[in-house]
Amino acid sequence: MHHAALAELARIDVHFAAWRYFRIEVSPGELPQALGQLHALRFAGLNLTLPHKVAALGRVAKADCAAQQAGAVNTLLWTEQGWSGFNTDGYGLARAIQETLGLDLAGAPVVLLGAGGAARGAAAECLARGCSGLWIANRTPENLEKLLSVLRPLERGTLVRGWKPSAGSGGPPAGSVLINATSSGLRAGDPAPVDLAAMPRPAGVYDMTYNPAGTALLHQARGLGIPCANGLSMLAHQGAKALEIWTGAPADRTAPLMLAAALRALGNDTTSH
């Protein structure tokens, strides 16, 4: 994705002709040393994926508001004082939902499945954008309560509550935006994390999983005629925002290039239905 965008930037500005994006495998125990070495080598910036997003937050010189609220960083920018940390996942999620489903998180009831790191970032973004209510479901009650306690300072008057899909009342209204931030769907044969037919009909379903492209949740949504999309668009938009932080190139300009490159790499021909 980044190479495709950098190639276009180099066509417009020769300054970017020498830029390269590297994939570097780093174990959790090697993270502190790696961050120091890459800073010494003056890498312009870094992306971080699991399991480094939370650990790296405590190792940056400063972090933006999105990273602080999400409790994780996925993008670092080189500065003289050390790494500056950002989180572009929430931005990527909101842009992807708007682009693929035509839905806005602002003023919308949201159902969030999961209580891990991805869910925390999603929840923080939903609250920051002013969703009308947030219902969170998770298989492990302890993890759910932990997430709810983290979110309470961010509520700002928005209703945030835990939700059991099997409960007969107290659930979300029809017309919600349903976001899957669980790992269910990453493996072939994984069941859907919720039965869409047993809950008030959502306005749209967004599954953060992008490989495989079609999860059990998305298959059920399509069968019920509910607009749905997988997470590839989120991947492209968060990547484009990271590139904007490093280069200044507007994310909206590079996101289509990055999405097209991701589609080619994965052999997919669609991200939404």
Q: What are phi and psi of 225, to 5 degrees?
A: 75, 25
CB of 71 within 8 A of CB of 150?
yes
Contact present, 137 and 164 (Cβ < 8 Å):
yes
Q: Angle between the 89-101 and 232-247 helix axes, to the nearest 10 degrees?
A: 130
- What gap in Å lies between CA 74 and CA 76, rounded to an integer? 7
Catalytic status, residue 62 = no
Rg (CA), the chain: 19
Give how far the C-alpha of residue 122 lies from the chain's centroid of Cα atoms, to the nearest Å.
6
The answer to whether residues 21 and 6 touch, using CB atoms and an 8 Å cutoff, is yes
- Active-site option among 53, 146, 164, 241: 53
Residues serving a catalytic function are 53
